[in-house]
Amino acid sequence: MPPQSGPPLHIHYSEDEIIYVLEGECEIECEGQSYKVLNGATAAFPKNSRHTFSNMGTIPCKVLVTIIPGGVERFFEEVSRLPTNQPPDIEQIKAIANKYNAEILTPQ
């Protein structure tokens, strides 16, 4: 993940998500609680939890993400087909997430 980036706050209604920090450090948020996760640490987000993670550092970090059970990869395949020559259309991404029983949470 590039510095100062990460997925938006979201919920998986059918899957658990686990991240393992391979290099660097991340800040994670789960159900309103924030934590710093360093190189070599693991964080788990149970289904139905509001969560996100981000690289708050100044250098790229690498994370291994596991989402169980499988199937959510189809969400990433669809999102990867969206135009890249313009800012992301968050409403379109939210609609795709809904197809895979997930919700992207954005500030009101």
**pLDDT tens-digit profile of 54-76?**
998 899 999 999 999 999 999 99
Residue with tokens 């993940």: 1
Look at the alpha carbons of 54, 59, 60, 65 in this order and tell me if their dihedral is positive or negative.
negative
CB 97 within 8 A of CB 8: no
What's the pLDDT band for 1 if we cut at 50, 70, 90?
very high
Closest CA to 10 of 83, 81, 76: 76
Tell whether the model's pLDDT for residue 107 goes beyond 90.
no
Tokens of 7: 């997925």
**pLDDT tens-digit profile of 8-45?**
999 999 999 999 999 999 999 999 999 999 999 999 99
